[in-house]
Copies of this chain bind each other. A is one copy, B any other.
Amino acid sequence: MFNLITTDGKARRGVLRTAHGEIQTPFFMNVATSAAIKGGVSAPELAELKCQVMLCNTYHLHIRPTAPKEVEGRKRKATDLLTGDEVIAELGGLHAFANWKRPMLTDSGGFQVFSLSGLRKIKEEGVYFSSHLDGKKIFMGPEESMRIQHNLGADIVMAFDECIPSGQSREYVEESVKRTTRWLIRCQEELEQLGSSQQLFAINQGGVYGDIRIRHMQELAELNLPGYAIGGLAVGESKEDMFAVIESVMPYMPIDKPHYLMGVGTPSDIIEAVYRGIDMFDCVMPTRNARHGTIFTNEGIIHVTNERYSKDNKPLDENCSCPTCRDFSRAYIRHLFKSGEYLGGRLASIHNLYFYNELMEKIRTAIENNTYAEFRNEQSPKLATLI
């Protein structure tokens, strides 16, 4: 399903084929957690922003949208509800629900189970936890995650893993990754059972322990899955630790499969990770920053709410052709933020998403032209600078 077209150093240029079309790699997935981009950008609009892949969230779409469930032989209770993924399956799947026609990936819910729910109990069978919305008790294991993701119907589904918080002991991490491997095999079996043709991606864990990471990746590689992710990074460790993990694990990631770095990151992080052999990214940063007026431009980062932009008639980024930069000034967008108008966050989100998607285009071109090292040296520090 994945074909490498060319390489430039460790940087890779490829094509990933899915049921909803081809993806040019490296690429950045635009995060629509609850089947919607937080800045108020719809799926058909996202397609206009050079977005190739939408990423949605298994946990969030399991707990919402619920709907009354028909019951037989007794009166329906308020708690008789279809889960979100059951509702979405009835409505024709997540592509139809959000009106997204291109490739989609759902993460497994593992990260959210561990980050959002206060009370949880990890057992061999899976995780017992409480919904962060209403405290309702939920159990999720590999089989449940696969069934939910099968209901949602994304092209790529992620294995159910334990995302280990930073700072855990070596002993804990060793036990955890072993369980994550056992869970992965159960994911594989469940998906087969469901007759699904979705592509299952494995997730490498191991904290910042290089040897555990490597051993885990070796185990995963033996399972010959359609894709391999590095998880559990960008969770509080230093950038040096993050890149050290990528470098140590990379030689063990199957060369003929896409390499996904989960939850990363800044434009500079992405450039650096591609340089080390990563093909896929996702991050809430472009939209989250946009909603606070933090804008990525080709000259560096700006805070558009700053008073210095109050009479600035220039677009957010003078070298950008996104709909926001085509139609509106910094002064207008600053005014929207200052006036509490949602339109501000929306216009900024449109720009930041376009910026990320276009950055990936530039990255692909640089690899094709065998100029990636030069591109990295020039762009990586510049894009990280506040101007």
Interface set of A (CB-CB < 8 Å, partner B): 34-42, 44, 60, 64-68, 82, 87, 90-92, 97-99, 307, 310-311, 313, 327-329, 331-332, 334-336, 338-339, 341-347
- Asked if B328 contacts A99 (CB within 8 A), the reply is yes
Min distance, Cβ A93 to any Cβ of chain B, angstroms: 12
- Asked if B68 contacts A307 (CB within 8 A), the reply is yes
User: What residues of B have a CB within 8 angstroms of the CB of A42 in the complex?
Assistant: 327-328, 343, 347
Q: How many copies does the complex hold?
A: 2
Query: If A87-B331, A310-B87, A311-B87 touch, does A38 touch B97 (CB 8 Å cutoff)?
Result: no
- 3 tightest A-B contacts by CB? A67-B310, A65-B335, A40-B342
Chain B residue nearest in CB terms to A34: B339
Among B34, B64, B65, B342, contact of A38 (Cβ-Cβ < 8 Å): B342
Per the bound structure, the CA–CA distance linking A34 and B335 in Å amounts to 9
Chain B residue nearest in CB terms to A331: B91
Among B68, B82, B97, B343, contact of A329 (Cβ-Cβ < 8 Å): B97
User: What residues of B have a CB within 8 angstroms of the CB of A91 in the complex?
Assistant: 311, 313, 329, 331-332
- Asked if A34 contacts B313 (CB within 8 A), the reply is no
Query: If A65-B335, A334-B65 touch, does A37 touch B343 (CB 8 Å cutoff)?
Result: yes
Per the bound structure, the CA–CA distance linking A49 and B64 in Å amounts to 31
Query: If A38-B341, A341-B36, A347-B42 touch, does A64 touch B335 (CB 8 Å cutoff)?
Result: yes
Per the bound structure, the CA–CA distance linking A87 and B330 in Å amounts to 13
User: What residues of B have a CB within 8 angstroms of the CB of A336 in the complex?
Assistant: 34, 36
13 pairs, CB–CB < 8 Å, chain A vs chain B: A34-B339, A35-B332, A36-B341, A38-B342, A39-B342, A40-B343, A40-B346, A64-B338, A65-B339, A87-B331, A91-B329, A98-B332, A99-B332
- Asked if A310 contacts B64 (CB within 8 A), the reply is no
Chain B residue nearest in CB terms to A329: B91
Min distance, Cβ A38 to any Cβ of chain B, angstroms: 7
- Asked if A331 contacts B34 (CB within 8 A), the reply is no
Per the bound structure, the CA–CA distance linking A37 and B335 in Å amounts to 13
Per the bound structure, the CA–CA distance linking A68 and B34 in Å amounts to 41
- Asked if A64 contacts B342 (CB within 8 A), the reply is no
User: What residues of B have a CB within 8 angstroms of the CB of A64 in the complex?
Assistant: 335, 338-339
Min distance, Cβ A35 to any Cβ of chain B, angstroms: 7
Min distance, Cβ A287 to any Cβ of chain B, angstroms: 11
Identify the interface centre among A39, A97, A98, A341: most chain B CB within 10 Å of its CB: A341
- Asked if B343 contacts A36 (CB within 8 A), the reply is yes
- Asked if A342 contacts B342 (CB within 8 A), the reply is yes
Chain B residue nearest in CB terms to A327: B99
User: What residues of B have a CB within 8 angstroms of the CB of A34 in the complex?
Assistant: 335-336, 339, 341
- Asked if A313 contacts B92 (CB within 8 A), the reply is yes
Per the bound structure, the CA–CA distance linking A336 and B60 in Å amounts to 12
User: What residues of B have a CB within 8 angstroms of the CB of A346 in the complex?
Assistant: 40, 342, 346
Chain B residue nearest in CB terms to A84: B335
Among B38, B82, B92, B343, contact of A41 (Cβ-Cβ < 8 Å): B343
Per the bound structure, the CA–CA distance linking A145 and B332 in Å amounts to 22
Other A-B pairs beyond A91-B311, A91-B313, A98-B332, 13, CB < 8 Å:
A34-B341, A40-B342, A42-B328, A42-B343, A64-B339, A65-B310, A66-B310, A87-B311, A87-B331, A90-B311, A92-B313, A97-B329, A99-B327
